[in-house]
Amino acid sequence: QPRRLFAFICTLPLEGDPTFATENVTVVRGRCLFNGREIVDRHTMKMSIPCVEATCWAPSKLVLLNKCPPPELGYGCMLVNRYDAEYPWCCPQAICN
């Protein structure tokens, strides 16, 4: 019988990365309580307000947050937010003339 090899790639966020954050949360019955929502342990939820992707790590009482990258604004550009969309589509976008 052939052997199977599984590889897992783990990327660790760099310190000072503005697109990554952690937040301490309350855990109830294995679910993280974040921003009025319950996230199952080791599950990810995309949100619109705040515009983040949140992953629950219940044993550590943490939520890992992927946040929007800072927008680059050039001359004649303005920021547009889409509050009706979930992460990453709700991230501010530069619209330029």
Q: For residue 56, tell me if it sits in a domain.
A: yes
| Residue 9 falls inside a structural domain | no
Each residue of 10-25: pLDDT tens digit?
445 445 788 999 999 9
Q: In a structure prediction context, what are the per-residue pLDDT tens digits for the chain, which is 97 residues long? A: 556 654 444 445 445 788 999 999 999 999 999 999 999 999 999 999 999 999 999 999 999 999 999 888 888 899 998 889 999 999 999 998 8
The reply to whether 96 falls in a domain is no
- The verdict on residue 59 lying in a domain is yes
Domain count, the chain: 1
Residue 62 lies in a domain: yes
Sign of CA dihedral 35, 70, 65, 82: positive
> Would 32 be classed as within a structural domain?
yes
Tell which residue, 34, 96, 29, 40, has the closest CA to residue 65: 34
Question: Is 13 contained in some domain?
Answer: no
> Is residue 49, in this structure, part of any structural domain at all?
yes
Q: What residue has token string 């921003």? A: 35
Domain that holds residue 27: 20-67
pTM beyond 0.75, yes or no: yes
